Amino acid sequence: MSRLRRARPPLVQGQPTRGKTAPNRLRRVDQFLVAYDRFLLQRNDGPFADAWFVDLGYGAEPVTTLEAAARLRRLNPGLGVLGVEIDPERVAVARPWEDARTRFCLGGFNLPVGADPALPARSARLVRVFNVLRQYEESAVAEAYAHLGEGVVPGGLLIEGTSDPFGRLWSANLLRRLPVAPPAWPWRREALVLSLRPGCGTLPEDLQSVLPKNLIHRMVPGEPIHALFTDWTQAAREASAWRAFGVRQWFAASLRRLAERGYRLDLRAKWLRQGFLIWKDPPIAL
């Protein structure tokens, strides 16, 4: 019997929120995930054999879930994709789109797989939570993450973030499920990702409006996220000569300068070219 079935919780964790979504809003998130951890999406060994990709809080229509299913199955044709919603009407809207590998169910942060007798009781390999927690209080974030960790296989990933309406700008926390999870906190914080499609917005101010919930109210002196943006703004200014070569070059130059100030950034060309700032092990409290 799976962990999820054993740990069946009595109540769905979370609260109803607005359901706005849009086609392709999370395309860049999916592209990022494929580039970031392709193996996690592809592998089918051991506990990963039937582990879901979960889209938690897919909104009024399941469009982002179905798009993710199509994208990610190019890597893993048998990948199970599960859309989870706290709003029963949104589950009903999505159900006609179900097939053998794509399912939709009612649930909350305590992934509900084991609680639904119609659903195979499997864990998740990757949980994508976008534009959900932004509508909660900041104090709800840590508890939500703790619940989510109960349904993820060791080595699995949580990406939780916020985007603009079109998905051009977004940011996300990346957390890796620990191999042996202490009961209260099952995650290792792996990175903070800031995503800015080259050519859209300015550097770096626009991203402040799409910070994850645990950071958006922390743009004040003394907070690491405030220091990052202050230093990045300065680095972008210093690198402004690169603008002559285009926004991508300027973005890359600004991140190289930022790294020189001691930030642990992933400076590989594949991220810089695509407009991703990946801050590894950021010293950010939840």
- Positions touching ligand SAM (CB under 6 A) are 13-14, 16-21, 25-26, 56-59, 64, 84-87, 90, 108-109, 130-132
Handedness of CA 209, 215, 216, 221 (dihedral sign): negative
Q: How far apart are the first and last CA of the chain?
A: 32
Please identify, using beta-carbon distances, which residue of 59 and 155 lies nearer to ligand SAM.
Answer: 59
Least distance (Å) between residue 182 CB and ligand SAM: 23
| Shortest spacing between CB 78 and ligand SAM, in angstroms | 24
Contact (CB, 8 A) for 88 and 116? no
Q: Which is nearer to ligand SAM, 25 or 176 (CB)?
A: 25
CB of 49 to ligand SAM, least distance (A): 25
Smallest distance from ligand SAM to CB 156, Å: 18
- Give CA separation, 22 vs 26, 29, 69, in Å: 9, 14, 16
Measured CA to CA, the distance from residue 203 to residue 205 in angstroms comes to 6
CB 188 within 8 A of CB 156: no
Tell me which H or E stretch contains 105.
strand 102-106
Which one, 90 or 103, has the nearer CB to ligand SAM?
Answer: 90
**1 Cβ neighbours under 8 A, 6+ residues apart:** 121
Which residue is nearest to ligand SAM, using beta carbons? 14
Nearer Cβ to ligand SAM (166/243): 166
| Cβ closest to ligand SAM, residue 108 vs residue 282 | 108
Q: What's the closest the beta carbon of residue 251 comes to ligand SAM, in angstroms? A: 24
